[in-house]
Structure 1
């Protein structure tokens, strides 16, 4: 595996070592992108891959370590545009992986989707561009009855005040997220990848020698030296490497509601319901029979407030298995409008979930221009999980310097996009009245006290 640093007697140079199948490769981060990258590299024949993470795999704070995730890979970029080409190519590769790769087969549930908005502004945003139209197979929803008919009787019992939207039966649905992460890690290990968790895998800093990166210093034990280092640390990446303002760690909130066996049967194979101003839900998971509800909002940041610093520029991720009381209220508002029979049911689980936004929400997958042995695979921007079967291949292509030219341009190192960045930018996200802004964990006045299910 990757050599552990025993001293300063390892030769270093600003010119990266020639990449071959025996090269030592260090992947920092064992979440969705890190594990996918490790698997793709191992399948390409690389035999010396180590993945570091502060937690045993799968990490309990990884965004992908979740019971389910929405899978809708349509692009709202204009047809014929550079962004549309990249989005469509990535989507095609990802869908092929979800359906055909033995690691992921059976985890994608193509149940369809219901997408909606409540306010005039939200409906306008939903209907503009190429995303939703009857020409693309979507059917309009304009009344309470329209929404209720998308699911079996007894599911959507609410009044849907102000709701309008679209529904489609194919090309979208949801994925068993945690199982996807577990399977990816297991398959990577089967190919010889080493996953190191805990303080032994917690990175303090990168190793800089002669103008290049040569691995990472960790909390416990010798540092890990490597011929190539790939940073896939998600919201924590900016704590390890200076991203020059290109990443804004942003968090969202979720809760679970326990369901009876009868309810679980009734809610099986439902289309995903997503209101861009209220929230979303998918069918209960098969393991614990819990319904996951997410309230929708532009996100929370945790602004650091050190004396003399500008707090807007440093959002510090943290793990917490509770959510703000305000988030609970939004979850219950969503339920009152859609499934009021569940609106007062106690939560069995709640947590915050981190991602990292780039200024334009395009991924950041590139060889760093100043450190030739460092590859970045970060900036999921709230939509990175859907591409899990394919994204590791893009990062592996970047390592091998054979990335698709248009992806290379769109996902390049681009600190100029963060000049005078608006750290409160909503980035085309919505929320209910009073919550349609980026919120601050430092200003939260109360948290839930959910007793987490075993």
Structure 2
């Protein structure tokens, strides 16, 4: 396919996919690239990519992602490009009996030359954490430390990518929620925003994240781009506490989905559980059936940050099994972080069926941010028809979704998400540890 570098391209969504796509389009010589986003300020306060940290790891049971992640990590290390966005703390992956995902991830990391330390027994595991840290380690613990990994200051990475886009001549316009895709003879010709403004385009790249299915119900993407809320909590440490845990690696347990970061520069420690999550089906005039739609700080104010009590209790329980002293502290806050999930957890990167002017780049499925520096390259290759056939099939919008084989993410994500019930959401008193809770 011969690329038309003069075509007008509108990217919907200034998140991980949209900005990386815009950046690589501009690097490839495209001249008219405009990114629009529904949020009034950018980075969008409620986007999944606007966060204090995301794991950067190459530990995948699917070697395709292991290889791509190592390319991304190499790019993250370019301080001139990313400053101190990337922190190479290492990632400790716990190995569990009967759980094969992490074993395969270990094999792939070793095969591609990652700096790996296999750890067998509690003393070996404790040895990769600072001596001052009280870490709970099971008697038969085993795992491995991948020193070629760590975490990224997610919001800073997005801000720097925005700067890269504008430096190359791209436009980024906030406050532009899309009302409809404009179409002529079955082909997309641009977008009309809710304020009446129109952006004509020869190509529209749809990267609206977890709003994709609900904002564009006519595309019937409810299954391919399912919005799920994932539960996150934060601890505010004292400077003295933070210094104790600062040099810890990221702790990651694929078997339970639990992970916890070392404290950031503000002494905040984030923990989360990567699992099936929650949906919020919402009825609208645009769709005959309810579509899962994010409940966020922009749509519901502070209430949009609350997570179900059951998940909050699970987070504390999991934390107690890793850092028991920290589990005695109150949580400083919570967040529902909204993913865009595909059934097989491969991303969606490809043309919408029968529309050569509409291209989708979305469905990060909770594991896209780490690829920010290189993700857009895949998108542009897809636009230009340069993806290898097997990669094109992997990410196709209309691909067949068979049984999940566990090579992308473990089976903790295999069962359906639960509907979000407002009465089940946590309240401020729930952030206290049980020992500090005030009796009712």
Q: Using structure 1 for the length normalisation, give the TM-score.
A: 0.81
Correspondences of 1:237-276 after superposition (within 5 Å): 237-239=212-214, 240=216, 241-243=219-221, 245-276=223-254
Classify the secondary structure of the residue corresponding to 1:297.
strand
Classify the secondary structure of the residue corresponding to 1:171.
coil
Match of 2:89 among 108, 111, 114: 111
**1:4 maps to what in 2?**
none
Does 1:153 pair with 2:131? yes
How big is the shift at 1:450?
A: 8.2
**2:436 maps to what in 1?**
none
**1:21 maps to what in 2?**
5
Q: Could you tell me how far apart the structure 1 residues matched to 2:31 and 2:288 are? A: 44
Q: Could you tell me how far apart the structure 2 residues matched to 1:96 and 1:404 are? A: 23
**1:430 maps to what in 2?**
412
Q: 1:256 to 1:450 in 2, by over 3 A?
A: farther
Q: 1:166 to 1:372 in 2, by over 3 A?
A: same
**1:335 maps to what in 2?**
319
Of 93-102 and 51-60, the range deviating more from structure 2: 93-102
Q: 1:138 to 1:444 in 2, by over 3 A?
A: farther
Q: Could you tell me how far apart the structure 2 residues matched to 1:212 and 1:278 are? A: 41
Match of 2:359 among 372, 375, 382: 375
**2:168 maps to what in 1?**
191
Q: 1:444 to 1:172 in 2, by over 3 A?
A: farther
Q: Using structure 2 for the length normalisation, give the TM-score.
A: 0.84
Once the two structures are superposed, what CA deviation does each residue of 1:194-217 show, in whole Å capped at 9, x if it has no partner? 22222xx10122111111001112
Once the two structures are superposed, what CA deviation does each residue of 1:229-267 show, in whole Å capped at 9, x if it has no partner? 000111111121322632222221111111111222222
Classify the secondary structure of the residue corresponding to 1:93.
helix
Match of 2:61 among 71, 76, 83: 76
Q: 1:130 to 1:92 in 2, by over 3 A?
A: closer
Q: Could you tell me how far apart the structure 2 residues matched to 1:75 and 1:157 are? A: 25
How big is the shift at 1:436?
A: 7.6
**2:301 maps to what in 1?**
none
Q: Could you tell me how far apart the structure 2 residues matched to 1:228 and 1:436 are? A: 36
Match of 2:261 among 282, 285, 294: 282
**1:224 maps to what in 2?**
199
Structure 2, unpaired ranges of 5+? 297-303, 432-440
How big is the shift at 1:132?
A: 7.3
Classify the secondary structure of the residue corresponding to 1:140.
strand
Q: 1:130 to 1:335 in 2, by over 3 A?
A: closer
How big is the shift at 1:156?
A: 3.1
- The number of aligned residues is 412
Q: 1:134 to 1:165 in 2, by over 3 A?
A: farther
Structure 1, unpaired ranges of 5+? 1-15, 78-83
Correspondences of 1:43-62 after superposition (within 5 Å): 43-55=27-39, 56-62=41-47
**2:418 maps to what in 1?**
439
How big is the shift at 1:29?
A: 0.6
Q: Could you tell me how far apart the structure 2 residues matched to 1:237 and 1:264 are? A: 38
**1:182 maps to what in 2?**
159
Does the Cα contact within 8 Å between 1:297 and 1:437 map onto a contact in 2?
no
Q: 1:97 to 1:133 in 2, by over 3 A?
A: closer
How big is the shift at 1:383?
A: 0.9
Q: Could you tell me how far apart the structure 2 residues matched to 1:142 and 1:291 are? A: 26
Does the Cα contact within 8 Å between 1:298 and 1:429 map onto a contact in 2?
no
Correspondences of 1:34-49 after superposition (within 5 Å): 34-49=18-33
Q: 1:40 to 1:410 in 2, by over 3 A?
A: same
How big is the shift at 1:358?
A: 1.4
Q: Could you tell me how far apart the structure 2 residues matched to 1:124 and 1:193 are? A: 44
Does the Cα contact within 8 Å between 1:49 and 1:194 map onto a contact in 2?
yes
How big is the shift at 1:40?
A: 1.4
Once the two structures are superposed, what CA deviation does each residue of 1:99-138 show, in whole Å capped at 9, x if it has no partner? 23732253222222211256x55x4553357647988734
Q: Could you tell me how far apart the structure 2 residues matched to 1:127 and 1:91 are? A: 18
Does the Cα contact within 8 Å between 2:101 and 2:409 map onto a contact in 1?
no
Q: Which has the higher strand share?
A: 2
How big is the shift at 1:402?
A: 2.1
Does the Cα contact within 8 Å between 1:29 and 1:234 map onto a contact in 2?
yes
How big is the shift at 1:37?
A: 1.1
Q: 1:355 to 1:228 in 2, by over 3 A?
A: same
Q: 1:134 to 1:242 in 2, by over 3 A?
A: closer
Does 1:203 pair with 2:178? yes
Classify the secondary structure of the residue corresponding to 1:430.
helix
**1:212 maps to what in 2?**
187
Q: Could you tell me how far apart the structure 2 residues matched to 1:447 and 1:401 are? A: 47
